[in-house]
Structure formats: structure tokens, C-alpha cells
């Protein structure tokens, strides 16, 4: 049966299966692609270092907003000193990983999809196969792994800059004591809270990188096909990030 | 050999042989499946029935590993060159060597420069593919195709979109590669003039079959209508000028009614 006549649920299941098989192919080639560390380092640089400015700027603004909103709310209960805790928990558990993943999908994810899609459209992937070189090993696996490693690091940078953004508002503008801001944060934030954010960013890294390379590798080899694949990367990654976020938050909530 | 896409026969009962050490040309109008034929030879697609043999090995029954081993003995020149755009000319030519061998860097350098020199582009080693003209890109792709010293070189439409000088250069290179390296060459093209100069054997394909074969000289004297239309570049003939359509007069009247 062709994909064209499948009902929507069947097509969705078929697609999930195809993505799963593709992930299996990538994982099987990762040990081999680690043999060429220069390829991996280049991809971590592409996906990570090149997204650093946008991620740090966003982290700063989100931290500042959290500082303002947290101060505004806590002041009503006479707990303005606790604003550091609000900023830290908001960033580490939720906004750091989620906003970073959404930014990653828009910046690095689209770049990965369009790059691989264009390589396909210009016969570069076929040329590799003709040179007896496996494109999944040389093109897809390093890019997938690069994104997977870069996203948690970016999320960490986002949260760190965000904490200083919160301090910039709460301490410098609103007059909260600097010691109270940091020490209350230190007392209230547990390792469990940090690890929740880390696990989320690892899961988002897997999802966003996989979607980006899958869409690029399976794009129709035309200008329109690459454009559509790039759009799908952003849409699918964003929805998937929010869905995974809910599932993981619920799981951590149940186990806490 | 039979090959179908979506039930439509692209090749039906095709029977061709490219002889070792010679330049064999597959000609035919656009859309006759010339590129598909190359995909069959290289194992990118598999024949529905029949047999495709390269070096005596049945391509369609090879495992992925065996197929990759076979492809290491083949070089292919793509229509647009298909150079890797994120690395420079030197690295493009070195790419197969780095992927398949553990040669020291000094030897890789020697090999890459030798092959680039053979196509006249040693001086362009550090240019990126975006800085090359169409003809230069194809010459670099040719250097990359021969860097592993293949036994067979496959050219897919090597003359498309080239100016006369670049065309002449590519023509000469195909001949040189064949003579100097003893490579078996398969050229797919519809440029009759150029093929006539270099091909030892020619096959004219049309509608999934070989309609004529022989040397380019023999084909040019053929009395077959298909051959005369193709070799003479006639607009109408067995390959009709008009795409199948309803009666002209009836259709015009219908639309004004």
C-alpha cells in the first residue's frame, strides 16, 4: 500500500516507524563516525557555537522577564527576597531547556535540514554513494550527534545567562539584596531540579536533531521539497519539544 | 532486461554490452531513460527482470557491502559535477582516498595534485566549488572520479550546458582517460557531434529499446527513421513534435463555445 492512500493514523504510525528505523541506522554508524572526530567537532561548532549569541541574548531577556514578573508577584506576599529562587527554578526546570530547544529548531535545525536537503538535490549524497561512501555515516551521523551534544550545552548557557539577567533586574533595578538573591537560590534549588532540566535538554537534543536530519535526508530533491522539509523541521520539532516537555514534567512530578 | 516505474516500462527487453577498454556511448532523446540505465548499472536501482552484469557480477543480487566494493572500481561523473560544496577542490578530490584508504598525507597530496594536473586544474586546488565554472566543476569531478584508479568510468551527460571550449576539453579528457589509463568508458549523452568524435561503439535508445547500434559512422548512414530523426535533429518523426493531445480544431471550437 502506498503512503498516498493511507489514512492519517496509519500514515502517522508509518512515519514514526520510518523515523525509528532511521534513528537505528544513525546509532549503528555513530561508532564509525566517531573515528573521524574532526567531522563531529565541526558539527558541534556549527550547531552549538554558531547558535551561542542568539541563545545567550534570549537567555538574558528571559531571565530579566522572570526577574520582573517574579519580583512583581512575590512582592505582594512580602517575599521579594525569594525572587532568585523563582528565576532559577523557572529557568533550570522549564524555560532554559524549552526555549533553547525552540531556538535550536529555528536556527540550527533548519540549517541542518536545508544543508542535507540541498546536498541531496544537487546529487552530492548520490555521488557519495557512488564513491562507496555511506552518506548516513559521513553526513547524517556527525550532524545528528553534533546537535545532540550542542543542545544541552546551549541550554546550560541559556540558564546561566538568564540567572544573571534576573539578577540585573531584581538586584540592580528593584533593590533586592544580592546576597539574598543568590543564597536563597542556593538553598532552595536541589540537584533534582537541575537534573530535571538536564534530562529535558538531552531529550530535546535527541528529538530536534533527529527531526532535522530526517527531514533533510528525506526531502524531495527540489527547491520546493527542501523548503517544505525546512518548514516541517520547525513545526514538528516545536510541537515535539512541547509534548516531550509535558510528558517529562508529568513524569518528574509523579516521581518527586 | 526489464525495468518499470509505477507500472510504466522504462526498459523492456533491453540488451546491451559495453566492451572492456572501449568508449561506449548511449544516445537517445531526452526522457528515454539514459540516466536510469546508469542507475541500473551502478546498482542505485534494480532491474525488475533480467540481468545487469558488471565485471561478471550480477548487480541486483549484490549485498550492500559487495555493491560498495564494486563501486570502488567505478568512477562516475555526474551531470552537474556533484562536488561537495562545504570543502574545497583539493579536499573533494582527496575525499574518496580519505574515506577508503589510510594513506599518509604526503601520498594523498601527490595523488590529488597528479589527478588535478591531468584535468588542468592543479592551480585551482584551493578554490571552493562555488568559485568554479560549470566546465571546471566537471573537470574537478572527473579528477575525483579517477583518483581511486577505477576500471570503469561512467559519464552522465558530460557535455550539457558547456561552452564549446569546455566541451572540447571534456571530450579530449574522456579520450585521454580511456587511452592512457585503459579505462572502460560509458558515456550517456545526446550530443551526437561530440560522441561521434570519441565513441568506439554507440547504442541509440528509444522507448525502452535499442533501435540502432554500431559505430557513430554506421549510425549516421542508417536508413531507420528513428536514427535519421535523432542524428539529423529533425523536429518531427517517430518522436512526435506534439505531445499527445485531442484534435486541434475540435479543442479550439470547444473552448470558444
DSSP output for B203-236? EEEETTEEEEEE-HHHHHT---HHHHHHHHT-SS
On whether the CB atoms of residues A110 and A10 are closer than 8 A, the answer is: no
What average pLDDT does chain A have?
92
We report the CATH number of the domain holding residue B165 as 3.40.50.300
A5-58 per-position pLDDT tens digit? 678 888 889 989 999 999 999 999 999 888 888 889 999 999 999 999 999 999
User: What confidence tens digit (pLDDT) does each residue in A133-167 have?
Assistant: 999 999 999 999 999 999 999 999 999 999 999 99
Bridge-based pairing of strands B184-188 and B23-27 is parallel
Please tell me if residue B114 touches chain A, with a CB cutoff of 8 Å. Answer: no
Whether residue B256 is contained in a domain is answered as: no
Please state the domain count of chain A.
1
Tally of CB atoms within 10 A around B175: 15
Determine the Cα–Cα distance for residues A84 and A180; give it in Å rounded to an integer: 8
CB-CB under 8 Å, A126 with B78: yes
| Domain count of the fold of chain B | 1
- A72: β partners: none
B74 at A interface, C-beta within 8 A: yes
Alpha-carbon gap, residue B226 to B206, rounded angstroms: 8
A124 CB neighbours in chain B (<8 A) are: 82-85
Of residues B203 and A115, more confidently modeled: A115
Q: Name the residue of chain A whose CA is nearest to B94's CA.
A: A131
| A129/B85 Cβ within 8 A | no
- According to DSSP, the residues that pair with B186 across neighbouring strands are B24, B154
Q: Is B116 helix (H, G, I), strand (E, B) or coil?
A: helix
Chain B residue numbers with beta carbons less than 8 Å from the beta carbon of A138 are: 99
Angle among Cα A53, A58, A60 to the nearest 5 degrees reads 95
Cα(A225)–Cα(A41) distance, integer angstroms: 29
Residue A124: closest CA among chain B residues belongs to which residue? B82
Q: Higher confidence at residue B237 or residue A174?
A: A174
Residue A162 contacts residue A96 (beta carbons within 8 Å): yes
Whether B128 shows a pLDDT value over 50: the answer reads: yes
Q: Is the pLDDT confidence value at B13 over 80?
A: no
Q: Is residue A47 part of a domain?
A: yes
- Beta strands at B8-12 and B2-5: parallel, antiparallel or unpaired: antiparallel
Q: Let me know if residue A17 belongs to a domain.
A: no
The answer on pLDDT for B2 being more than 80 is no
Q: A117 lies in a domain?
A: yes
DSSP class of residue B243 equals P
A138 vs B: CB within 8 A: yes
Q: Is A190 part of a structural domain of the chain?
A: yes
Judging contacts by C-beta atoms under 8 Å, the chain B residues touching residue A132 are 68-69, 71-72, 96, 99-100
Cβ neighbour number for residue A45 with a 10 Å cutoff: 12
Chain A touched by B87 (CB under 8 Å): no
Closest residue of A to B83, CA-based? A124
Would you call B78 and A129 a contact, using CB atoms and an 8 Å cutoff? no
Task: Of B81, B85, B179, give the one whose Cα is nearest residue B135.
Answer: B81
**B25 in Cβ contact with B199 (< 8 Å):** yes
Task: State how far residue B126 is from chain A, nearest Cα, in angstroms.
Answer: 19
- Kindly state whether A122 is in contact with chain B, defined as any CB-CB distance less than 8 angstroms: yes
Among residues A173, A194, A199, the alpha carbon closest in space to that of A91 is found at A194
Helical packing angle, A110-121 and A223-255, nearest 10°: 140
Q: Which of A176, A172, A164, A184 is nearest to A75 (CA)?
A: A176
pLDDT at B29 over 70: yes
Beta bridge partners of B209: B206
Is B188 in a helix, a strand, or coil? strand
Interchain pair B74, A130: CB under 8 A: yes
pLDDT at B139 over 80: yes
Q: Searching chain B, which residue's CA lies closest to the CA of residue A122?
A: B82
Put simply, the answer to whether B100 touches A127 (Cβ < 8 Å) is no
User: Residue B92: what pLDDT?
Assistant: 95
* Residue to substitute from B41, B64, B68, interface A, most A β-carbons within 10 A: B68
Structural domain contains residue B253: no
Q: Does B215 touch chain A (CB under 8 A)?
A: no
Least confident of A74-83, B192-201, B234-243: B234-243
Other beta carbons within 10 Å of B41: 22
- Which residues of chain A does B148 touch, with a Cβ-Cβ cutoff of 8 Å? 131
Residue B86 lies in a domain: yes
Rounded Cα distance between A254 and B21, Å, is: 72
**Beta pairing class for B152-156 and B74-77:** parallel
CA neighbor of B54 nearest in space, from B18, B99, B101, B95: B18
Range of the domain at A175: 37-255
ipTM above 0.90, yes or no: no
Whether residue B207 lies within 8 A of chain A, CB to CB, comes out as: no
DSSP codes of every residue in A164-204: HHHHIIIIIIT---HHHHHHHHHHH--HHHHHHHHHHHHHH
pLDDT value of position A2: 46
Write the CB contacts of A212 (distance below 8 Å, at least 6 apart in sequence). Answer: A105, A108, A109, A110, A112, A113, A143, A147, A233, A237
| Chain A residues touching B141 at Cβ < 8 A | 127
Chain-chain contact of B72 with A132 (C-beta, under 8 angstroms) = yes
Q: Report CB contact under 8 Å: A131, B71.
A: yes
Closest-CA residue of chain B to A134:
B68
Mean pLDDT for the stretch of residues A108-121: 95
Contacts of range B170-178, beta carbons closer than 8 Å, 24 or more positions apart: B170/B135, B170/B138, B170/B139, B170/B142, B171/B197, B171/B198, B173/B118, B173/B119, B173/B139, B173/B142, B174/B23, B174/B198, B175/B23, B176/B118, B177/B142, B177/B146, B177/B153, B178/B21, B178/B22, B178/B23, B178/B153
Ramachandran category for residue A101: left, alpha or beta (phi over 0 → left; psi -120 to 50 → alpha): alpha
For residue B249, is it within any domain?
no
In this model, does residue B196 exceed pLDDT 50?
yes
- Residue B154 pairs in a beta bridge with B76, B186
Residue B211: CB atoms within 10 Å:
19
B109: buried, middle or exposed (CB in 10 Å: 19+, 13-18, 0-12)? middle
Domain-embedded: residue B181: yes
Q: For residue B156, is it within any domain? A: yes
Q: Range with the lowest mean pLDDT among A123-127, A209-213, B133-137, B194-198? A: B194-198
In this complex, how many residue pairs, one in chain A and one in chain B, have their CB atoms less than 8 Å apart? 51
Better-predicted residue by pLDDT, A119 or B6: A119
Decide if A131 touches B, using CB distance below 8 A: yes
Note whether residue B252 is domain-resident. no
Pinpoint the alpha helices (H) of chain B.
Answer: 34-41, 64-71, 89-100, 105-118, 134-146, 164-181, 192-198, 216-220, 225-232, 248-256
Q: Is residue B257 part of a domain?
A: no
Does residue B152 sit at the A interface (CB-CB below 8 Å)? no
Domain span at B132: 2-237
User: Using CB atoms, which residue from A118, A124, A131 is nearest to B96?
Assistant: A131
Q: Does A72 touch chain B (CB under 8 A)?
A: no
Amino acid at each position: 500500500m502506498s503512503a498516498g492512500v493511507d489514512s492519517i493514523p496509519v500514515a502517522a504510525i508509518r512515519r514514526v516507524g520510518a523515523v525509528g528505523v532511521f534513528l537505528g541506522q544513525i546509532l549503528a554508524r555513530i561508532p564509525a563516525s566517531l573515528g573521524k572526530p574532526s567531522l563531529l567537532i565541526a558539527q558541534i561548532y556549527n550547531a552549538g557555537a554558531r547558535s551561542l549569541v542568539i541563545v545567550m541574548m534570549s537567555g538574558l531577556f528571559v531571565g530579566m522577564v522572570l526577574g520582573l514578573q517574579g519580583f512583581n508577584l512575590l512582592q505582594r506576599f512580602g517575599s521579594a527576597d525569594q525572587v532568585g529562587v523563582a528565576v532559577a527554578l523557572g529557568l533550570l526546570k522549564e524555560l532554559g531547556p524549552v526555549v533553547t530547544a525552540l531556538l535550536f529548531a529555528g536556527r540550527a535545525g533548519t540549517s541542518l535540514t536545508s544543508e542535507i536537503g540541498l546536498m541531496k538535490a544537487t546529487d552530492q549524497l548520490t555521488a557519495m554513494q557512488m564513491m562507496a561512501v555511506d552518506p548516513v555515516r559521513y553526513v547524517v551521523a556527525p550532524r545528528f550527534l553534533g546537535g545532540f551534544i550542542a543542545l544541552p550545552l546551549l541550554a546550560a548557557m541559556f540558564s546561566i545567562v538568564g540567572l544573571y539577567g534576573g539578577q540585573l533586574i531584581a538586584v540592580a533595578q528593584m533593590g533586592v539584596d544580592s546576597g539574598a538573591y543568590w543564597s536563597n537560590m542556593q538553598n532552595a534549588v536541589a540537584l533534582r531540579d537541575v537534573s530535571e532540566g538536564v534530562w529535558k535538554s538531552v531529550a530535546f537534543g535527541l528529538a530536534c536533531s533527529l527531526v532535522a536530519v530526517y527531514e533533510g535526508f528525506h526531502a524531495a530533491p527540489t527547491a520546493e521539497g527542501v523548503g517544505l522539509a525546512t518548514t516541517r523541521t520547525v513545526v514538528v520539532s516545536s510541537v515535539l519539544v512541547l509534548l516531550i516537555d509535558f510528558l517529562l514534567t508529568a513524569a518528574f512530578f509523579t516521581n518527586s | 532486461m526489464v525495468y518499470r516505474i509505477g507500472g510504466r516500462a522504462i526498459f523492456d527487453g533491453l540488451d546491451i554490452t559495453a566492451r572492456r577498454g572501449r568508449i561506449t556511448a548511449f544516445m537517445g532523446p531526452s526522457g528515454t531513460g539514459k540516466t536510469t540505465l546508469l542507475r541500473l548499472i551502478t546498482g542505485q536501482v534494480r532491474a525488475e527482470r533480467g540481468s545487469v552484469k558488471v565485471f561478471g557480477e550480477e548487480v541486483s543480487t549484490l549485498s550492500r557491502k559487495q555493491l560498495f566494493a564494486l563501486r570502488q572500481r567505478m568512477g562516475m561523473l555526474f551531470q552537474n559535477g556533484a562536488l561537495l560544496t562545504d570543502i574545497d577542490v583539493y579536499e573533494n578530490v582527496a575525499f574518496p582516498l580519505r574515506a577508503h584508504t589510510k594513506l599518509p598525507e604526503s601520498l594523498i597530496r601527490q595523488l590529488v595534485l597528479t589527478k588535478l594536473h591531468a584535468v588542468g586544474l592543479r592551480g585551482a586546488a584551493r578554490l571552493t566549488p562555488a568559485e568554479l565554472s560549470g566546465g571546471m566543476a566537471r573537470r574537478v569531478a572527473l579528477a575525483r572520479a579517477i583518483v581511486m584508479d577505477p576500471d570503469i568510468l561512467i559519464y552522465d551527460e558530460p557535455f550539457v550546458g558547456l561552452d564549446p571550449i569546455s566541451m572540447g576539453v571534456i571530450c579530449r579528457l574522456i579520450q585521454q582517460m580511456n587511452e592512457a589509463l585503459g579505462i572502460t568508458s560509458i558515456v550517456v549523452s545526446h550530443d551526437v557531434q561530440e560522441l561521434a568524435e570519441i565513441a568506439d561503439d554507440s547504442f541509440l535508445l528509444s522507448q525502452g529499446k535499442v533501435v540502432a547500434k554500431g559505430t557513430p559512422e554506421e549510425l549516421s548512414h542508417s536508413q531507420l527513421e528513428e536514427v535519421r530523426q535523432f542524428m539529423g535533429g529533425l523536429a518531427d518523426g517517430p518522436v512526435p513534435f506534439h505531445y499527445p493531445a485531442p484534435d486541434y480544431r475540435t479543442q479550439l471550437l470547444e473552448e470558444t463555445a
